[in-house]
Structure 1
Amino acid sequence: MKKLALIALLALTACREETAEIPAPVEMTAAAVGYYCQMDLLEHPGPKAQIHLKDVSAPIFFAQVRDALAFERMPEQNDVITAIYVSDMDRAKSWAEPGADNWTLAPEAWFVMGSKQAGGMGADEMVPFATEAGAQAFASAHGGKVLRMGDIPDTAVLAPASGPAPIAAPDDADADYLERLKAATKGS
């Protein structure tokens, strides 16, 4: 009888689906730098994001929510993501001070896409809110469409970000490049 009970217990344990515990968000401090820009996030306005990866003790931070969503969707990204947190702009003091510890899980958030408000790095932003009412109020004031994370099209986060026009290169930039390329390949 003991053997049968042990076998049944082992079978139930083997069939039980393991549920991973979601890591808690980490407060943003002066030590938090953007994954792509390596800049102090507290010096930039607008919402931020943090992504927790399996077997990595500290999250990676993003200067813009759009950047975190792009990271999550990049075809070459193969890390196991255990959580994505975004600033809850419902609880932000202002656009300039989005808050260091007012995070909400991205899959549960409401996002405003296409507003007139640029993100912390000057590009288009996906502005997150913990409530649909907060997102709707922001969209009414600043334009844009309210969506859930899964409804944001890949093209909105993976396409080149709009923002300030790039500084034009001098007219002779191509000639200089070609001369340097020729010089570098002469020895080949």
Structure 2
Amino acid sequence: MRVNRRQLLLATCALGAQAALSACGQKTGQTVVPAEFNVASTCDLDGMLLADYPGPKAQIHFAGESRPTWYCDTAEMFSTLLKPEQVRTVLGVFVQDMELADWDRPRGYWFDARTGTYVLGSRRRGSMGPTIASFRQEAAARKFATSFGGQVMRFAEVKPEMVDLSGGALHDSRM
């Protein structure tokens, strides 16, 4: 059987496309773990220093990125994830457990954001003003809501219209 150049090129392209499509469904085996920010770490959206502001922080690990994208507030994280134009592959999303972390200077206590419970509309403020408090345990979220008000919800229950980003720079006298 004689194969011309065009047939060879088409066959090669077809094999490449098939390999690329089959790779899409495979897991890389890469385990994503939360990182810890330092005093010089800044929010990727607005450049605010993470260490200078109260309330829960967040990080998203996107495929193809060597470091996490940092957020100085969980509201920014939800805003990013819930945008219809967000098409990057998310490998991991982490927030801080505010039952254990110091509200005014939160460090550590990271957990998978998709497994958490959140309090929206409390009296506590984060770097962007109104924030979404994050908790690993639902009981801790309910206790927080009893003390500071707000609505308790799971990660998947948070909708784009619930995320308020209007508070940050308007109320920050340090900027």
Class of the TM-score when normalised by the shorter of the 2 chains: 0.7 to 0.9
Any conservation in 1 of the 2:54–2:125 contact (CA below 8 Å)? no
Q: Does the residue aligned with 1:42 lie in a helix, a strand or coil?
A: helix
Deviation at 1:121, TM superposition (A): 2.5
Residue pairs, 1:35-184, within 5 angstroms: 35-92=44-101, 94-99=102-107, 101-122=108-129, 124-157=130-163, 160-162=165-167
Structure 1 CA distance, aligned partners of 2:166 and 2:35?
Answer: 27
Report if aligned partners of 2:117, 2:136 keep a CA contact under 8 Å in 1: yes
- Partner-residue secondary structure (3-state), 2:134: strand
- The alignment partner of 1:79 has SS state of coil
Aligned-residue offset at 1:120: 1.4
Cα deviation, 1:45-97, whole Å, max 9, x if unaligned, reads 110000000011100100100001101111222211111100111211x2102
Larger radius of gyration: 1
Could you tell me how far 1:38 is from its partner in structure 2?
Answer: 0.5
Structure with more of its chain in strand, by fraction: 2
2:33 is matched with 24
TM value normalised by structure 1: 0.72
Q: Distance in 2 between matches of 1:57 and 1:163?
A: 28
When residues 108 and 98 of structure 1 are mapped into structure 2, their CA distance, relative to the original with a 3 A threshold, is: same
CA distance in 1, matches of 2:58, 2:31: 16
Could you list the runs of 5+ residues in structure 1 that have no partner in the other structure? 1-13, 167-188
Task: Give the 3-state SS of the residue equivalent to 2:126 in structure 1.
Answer: coil
Distance 2:96 2:65 in 1: 21
Aligned to 1:172: none
In 2, Cα distance between equivalents of 1:49 and 1:80: 17
CA distance 1:38–1:79, shift in 2 (3 Å): same
Q: Report the alpha carbon displacement of residue 165 of structure 1 after superposing the two structures with TM.
A: 6.3
Distance 1:165 1:49, change over 3 A: closer
RMSD after superposition: 2.1
The sequence identity of aligned pairs, in percent, is 30
Distance apart, 1:162 and its partner CA:
4.5
Q: Offset of 1:36 from its aligned partner?
A: 1.5
1:7 match: none
Mark the runs of 5 or more structure 2 residues left unpaired by the alignment: 1-21
Distance 2:63 2:41 in 1: 19
